[in-house]
Amino acid sequence: MDTPARVLGLATRTALDAAELPLALRQLLGRCTIHSLPAVSPTGRPTGATAPVEGALEEGDTVMRLRDPHGGAITVERPYLPFTPTEFARARALVELDARLGPRIPRSQDVLTLPEGNEITVRRADQGDLEAARAMHDRCSDRTLGLRYHGPVGDAGSYLNHLLSPRFGRTLAVETASGRLVALGHLLWDGDETEVALLVEDDWQRRGIGSELLDRLVGLALEAGCESVYAVTQSSNTGMVAAMRGLNLPLDYQIEEGTLVITARLTGIPARRPRQQRAGRTER
């Protein structure tokens, strides 16, 4: 594919989904490290992250700083090869396109039937789901929140706005037939790596929801060209450990001070079809 056609393809992906911007920049610029630095930290403190309106090349043209339309800055680093003026102009154009289109995510959804007969809806989520996500947090036990966030339970809600932002990854939500949000699955861009994280409300655990979300998140990671995904949990979180093992992918385990990091390698794995297609379910 020639360069103009490839850039137009990246622009189309960015136009359809705000979460695509970091991935489009990586495909445009090759092997590089991209960091989205918010203007306000998850705890509500200003970070001081900013960039000139027109962007800037720094440190011998190996660091690109672009103003994030959502606030803060996007920093792209490629120490082994300076960025060219053409690459800088194309990257800035993608960011400007993202800014003009505003918040957006694909609105498709799947309706699935759990083994006991209850119907659930799986769809993409964003910051418009913040209130429903906070309500779900309020219904979760301290143990469930502690296993998810690995820290003080009282601070868990402060991270939701960050987690739901398309700038930092993709989020899947699970709703009941009545419209109540009962689970969230996150695929988070972490520099060169990709993290997966799950939270399922206590009353809806052990019904296969976590495995369904994780399988879909891995599918999104494959579509994005990720080489691996990792989950940070505790060895006592048997549900998350079982869900990772259920992916039937090569896994690496690392334990440090009670924290378990499980990495699933995706290199050489063919694209995964969503579970609803494999089971003959339909997408709405």
Tell me phi and psi for residue 191, to 5 degrees.
65, -120
Q: Which fold has domain 109-278?
A: Aminopeptidase (3.40.630)
**Per-residue model confidence (pLDDT) at position 229:** 94
* 3-state secondary structure string across 131-178: HHHHHHHHHCCHHHHHHHHCCCHHHHHHHHHHHHCHHHEEEEEEEECC
According to DSSP, the β-strands at 169-176 and 193-200 are unpaired
Q: Would you kindly state where each structural domain of the chain is located, as residue ranges?
A: 3-101, 109-278
Token pair, residue 162, equals: 């960050």
pTM for this prediction: 0.81
Task: Encode pLDDT of 143-180 as tens digits.
Answer: 898 888 876 666 666 678 888 988 888 999 999 999 99
Mean pLDDT by runs of 10 across the 284 residues of the chain is: 87 89 88 82 74 88 88 89 94 91 84 90 92 93 86 69 86 94 93 88 93 94 88 88 91 87 85 46 42
Tens-place pLDDT, residues 204-245: 999 999 999 999 999 999 888 888 999 999 888 888 999 999
